[in-house]
Amino acid sequence: MATSLEVPVITQTNFPGLTLLNRGKVRDIYDFGDSLLIVATDRISAYDVIMPNGIPYKGKVLTQISGFWFAMMEDIVPNHLISNLIYDFPPACKPYWRALEDRSMLVRKAKPLPVECVVRGYLSGSGWVEYQKSGTICGIKLPAGLVESQKLPEPIFTPATKEEVGTHDENISFDRMVERISHETANKVRDLSISIYQRAARFAESKGILLADTKMEFGIDGNGAIMIIDELLTPDSSRFWPKDRYQPGRGQESFDKQFVRDYLNSIAFNRKPPGPTLPEDVVLKTSALYLEALKRLSGKTLL
Quick: pLDDT tens for 174-227.
Answer: 999 999 999 999 999 999 999 999 999 999 999 999 999 999 999 999 999 999
Q: pLDDT-derived band of residue 170, with 50, 70 and 90 as boundaries? A: confident
Quick: pLDDT tens for 229-283.
Answer: 999 999 999 999 999 999 999 999 998 888 898 899 999 999 999 999 999 999 9
**pLDDT, position 302:** 85
Instruction: Report the share of the chain in percent with pLDDT over 90.
Output: 87
Q: Which domains does the chain have, with CATH numbers?
A: 19-109 (3.30.200.20), 112-255 (3.30.470.20)
**pLDDT, position 292:** 95
Quick: pLDDT tens for 61-101.
Answer: 999 999 999 999 999 999 999 999 999 999 999 999 999 99
The arithmetic mean of pLDDT across residues 8-32, rounded, is: 96
Quick: pLDDT tens for 138-149.
Answer: 889 999 999 999
Residue 166 above 60 pLDDT? Answer: no
Residue 155 above 90 pLDDT? Answer: yes
Residue 167 above 70 pLDDT? Answer: no
**pLDDT, position 2:** 42
Residue with more model confidence, 136 or 1? 136
Q: Which residues pair with 150 in a beta bridge?
A: none
